[in-house]
Amino acid sequence: MSSPTTVAIPVRNGGPALARTLAAIETQRTDRPVEVLVCDSGSSDGSRELARRYGAQVIEIQPSQFSHGGTRNLLMERSRGEHVVFLTQDSVPADDLWLSRLLDGFGLAPDVGLVFGPYLPWSNASAMVQRELTDWFGSFSPDGSPRIDRLESFERDTPSRTLLGRRGFFTDANGCVARAAWERTPFRDVPYAEDHVIAHDMMRAGFAKVFMPQAAVIHSHDYSAWGWLRRSFDEARSLQAVYGWSEPLHPRTVLLNIWGRVGADWRWARARPDRDDGAVAALALLGGSAVHHTARTAGAVLGARAQRLPQALVRRLSLERRTD
Q: What is the pLDDT of residue 270?
A: 85
| DSSP state for residue 199 in the 8-state scheme | H
CA distance 22 to 260: 39
Report residues of the chain scoring pLDDT below 70. Answer: 1, 275-280
List the Cα angle 79/48/192 in 5-degree steps.
65
Nearest-CA neighbor of 35 among 69, 63, 71, 9?
9
Q: Which amino acid is at 35?
A: E
Is the overall model pTM greater than 0.95, yes or no? no
Give yes or no for a contact between 260 and 253, defined as CB atoms under 8 angstroms apart.
no
Q: What is the pLDDT of residue 191?
A: 75
Q: What is the pLDDT of residue 35?
A: 97
At residue 59, φ and ψ (nearest 5 deg) are: -100, 135
CA distance 190 to 182: 16
CA distance 21 to 284: 32
Q: What is the pLDDT of residue 235?
A: 92
Q: 309: how many CB neighbours lie within 10 A of its CB?
A: 16
Q: What is the DSSP string of 165-198?
A: TTTT---TTEEEEEHHHHHHSPPP--SS-HHHHH
Task: Say how far residue 320 (Cα) sits from the centre of its chain.
Answer: 15
Q: What is the pLDDT of residue 75?
A: 97
